[in-house]
Structure 1
């Protein structure tokens, strides 16, 4: 037997130079507990809803921290959780150039704001349009850390009318009370990176993979205890309504944790959605139409006044956002985020059993497809919305909505199985299979 490899796979990846992004930074004076000004480097972020300060700087300034009434989740794009804030501080800061102008703000305390800004030091010698004096950050092009992040409302309070532009790919200089801010994209001269990975495959390994690929055994996978619990829960709690509609319940874990408050988080996400609407009126029209269709079709209902004051652990507010797909017949889809964290640091999806995978594997589907001379396929439109949710459990599927910012935000709840909830795929397929078994004598050829 030879140990020599019989074949090899070589993968090569090349990275082309990308544009470096300069985010506006400023050296500001922040006053400590004794009223003394300390120079700090701040990042001006016109997309952030809140101001932030690093915990190490709070200790250095000896500032008094205040405990938040609820934990505040810090989320990035698509609601991805990046940090959780439990405390805040009151900051007083001023400009080095205009010390008479002072700004008071509340900042959330987090361990780390980010890395260095910019990501790498840049050559600014050819940017002749950028002033040599009066810069908000004289070392804006040097890769150094920041310890304060100022939000969008601070950004609009500090900017002035002056604007200096260079060539097309040069950063822009914006006048502000802190001095001239510099931001934008610029070409980088980084060398191209190449990565080469070489993997040798022995003959024995290839034969093992071949037999695994060709294996068409119909062995039933053993279910885990949690999957068995989910199956048992479905069989015990699912009912058929008089009109033939299946009604299911959410399969919570036996050791269900405290959900905590989710309305605060959902409210912030909804206000962010409204800001997006203010910049895209067409998106707002489509989104509002989709919400109204859910109401008209009976999939969504307003929360009854008698259930306004349900305890936090018995209700969950789903943040929602649009996803556009031009190739689809339904170009806009509302996505509900049941993975968003509450004040206790858990989400609805973490509390639910997901159930076993009920779909056939791809090999079985392809063989069944090729078995017949003329195969047919069908797509059930909005399949989840044909399955009703048990009334008390609809409170775990609440959303916030209003047609116009001038109106009061109202509470609604989804009456059907909802896309984005962890248990929904299992419940939908299980209901289809159960329906087929119930109707097999009536439609034997189906």
Structure 2
């Protein structure tokens, strides 16, 4: 009996591989309905910029402030970085640049209304093998004040965006001589965070970045931050909403192929290979 079950499993895997890229795509109805609802109620366009709300779980547990643990860990990060003054300076420069570009802001009045959620996020440096940017700042939205306390990420919807069909990408990839990969600079940070949700993204840093003994200053995000479990979904929903609102031939091509990475390039003559590369309409 065990052998028959194993044979059925192997046969099922075989047919899945055989039908890869051929079988009809399933409709992710639940995801699409939720995305449309979020786009209509959670994303707005104000003063030349998209503003997004955090997608909170219904009846999520009470979110603690995490102020004490965030303060302690920030002091620990400062003490660690003071041993490497160049990294401490670079850390401060990154935050100063983010403030200058409107991604974060200082909080002068720490008072908040009773209905306002307040939460502090821990952050720490991660070294990079780069001469220009030796470190990057990582924000920990999964930090717990106690073993049983909920985290910010646990209170937010973890809705992964639907990925593009890998088989179609690979097929189109093979029909061209060159492939181009692009990236949106600071994609998350270029989406504004709704004012009602900004106070759950508070964090501490030095009031004087050049003085590791200076008092801690409270900041908060004005943009969608890298580290929140819902950020990829917010980015995906914002891009698709923007494309849907500005329909044209180019956006139709993106919707029909890949909207997170455009792998289609027109056929052209290459001086290197001296050959025409044509993509069949069935693949497009």
The alpha-carbon deviation at position 426 of structure 1 amounts to: 0.5
Q: Note the alpha carbon deviations across 1:121-154, whole angstroms, 9 max, x for none.
A: xxxxxxxxxxxxxxxxxxxxxxxxxxxxxxxxxx
Q: 1:300 to 1:272 in 2, by over 3 A?
A: same
Aligned residue in 1 for 2:267: none
Indicate conservation of the 8 Å contact 1:258/1:313, yes or no: no
Aligned residue in 2 for 1:335: 138
The alpha-carbon deviation at position 373 of structure 1 amounts to: 5.4
Q: Note the alpha carbon deviations across 1:2-50, whole angstroms, 9 max, x for none.
A: x69xxxxxxxxxxxxxxxxxxxxxxxxxxxxxxxxxxxxxxxxxxxxxx
Choose from 421, 424, 430 the match for 2:228: 421
| Structure 1 residue 434 corresponds to structure 2 residue 241 | yes
Q: 1:350 to 1:296 in 2, by over 3 A?
A: same
Indicate conservation of the 8 Å contact 1:252/1:352, yes or no: yes
| Distance in 2 separating the partners of 1:422 and 1:336 | 11
Map 1:258-297; keep pairs closer than 5 Å.
258-297=62-101
| Structure 1 residue 323 corresponds to structure 2 residue 126 | yes
Aligned residue in 2 for 1:237: 42
Q: Note the alpha carbon deviations across 1:63-114, whole angstroms, 9 max, x for none.
A: xxxxxxxxxxxxxxxxxxxxxxxxxxxxxxxxxxxxxxxxxxxxxxxxxxxx
Q: 1:331 to 1:212 in 2, by over 3 A?
A: farther
**SS at the partner of 2:204?**
strand
Number of aligned residues: 246
Q: 1:228 to 1:267 in 2, by over 3 A?
A: farther
| Distance in 2 separating the partners of 1:399 and 1:358 | 31
Greater percentage in helix: 2
Q: 1:430 to 1:331 in 2, by over 3 A?
A: farther
| Distance in 2 separating the partners of 1:230 and 1:414 | 24
| Distance in 2 separating the partners of 1:439 and 1:301 | 31
**SS at the partner of 2:189?**
helix
Map 1:27-38; keep pairs closer than 5 Å.
none
| Distance in 1 separating the partners of 2:132 and 2:114 | 40
**SS at the partner of 2:244?**
helix
Q: Note the alpha carbon deviations across 1:143-166, whole angstroms, 9 max, x for none.
A: xxxxxxxxxxxxxxxxxxxxxxxx
Aligned residue in 1 for 2:162: 358
Q: 1:319 to 1:374 in 2, by over 3 A?
A: same
Map 1:166-315; keep pairs closer than 5 Å.
205-214=9-18, 215-216=20-21, 217-222=23-28, 228-229=33-34, 231-243=36-48, 245-305=49-109, 307-311=110-114, 314-315=117-118
5+ residue gaps, structure 2: 255-284
Q: 1:309 to 1:329 in 2, by over 3 A?
A: same
| Distance in 2 separating the partners of 1:420 and 1:328 | 24
Q: What's the RMSD between the two structures over aligned residues?
A: 3.0
Indicate conservation of the 8 Å contact 1:260/1:312, yes or no: no
Larger radius of gyration between Structure 1 and Structure 2:
1
| Distance in 1 separating the partners of 2:58 and 2:111 | 26
Provide TM-score, normalisation by structure 1: 0.50
**SS at the partner of 1:429?**
helix
Map 1:88-99; keep pairs closer than 5 Å.
none
Indicate conservation of the 8 Å contact 1:388/1:416, yes or no: yes
Aligned residue in 1 for 2:272: none
| Distance in 2 separating the partners of 1:412 and 1:229 | 32
Provide TM-score, normalisation by structure 2: 0.75
Q: 1:219 to 1:335 in 2, by over 3 A?
A: same
The alpha-carbon deviation at position 258 of structure 1 amounts to: 0.9
Map 1:8-47; keep pairs closer than 5 Å.
none
- Using CA pairs below 8 Å that are at least 6 residues apart, which structure has the higher relative contact order? 2
The alpha-carbon deviation at position 396 of structure 1 amounts to: 1.0
Q: Note the alpha carbon deviations across 1:277-296, whole angstroms, 9 max, x for none.
A: 12222221221111111111
Indicate conservation of the 8 Å contact 2:87/2:134, yes or no: no
Q: 1:365 to 1:219 in 2, by over 3 A?
A: same
| Distance in 1 separating the partners of 2:36 and 2:134 | 35
5+ residue gaps, structure 1: 5-201
Indicate conservation of the 8 Å contact 1:384/1:417, yes or no: yes
| Distance in 1 separating the partners of 2:141 and 2:120 | 8
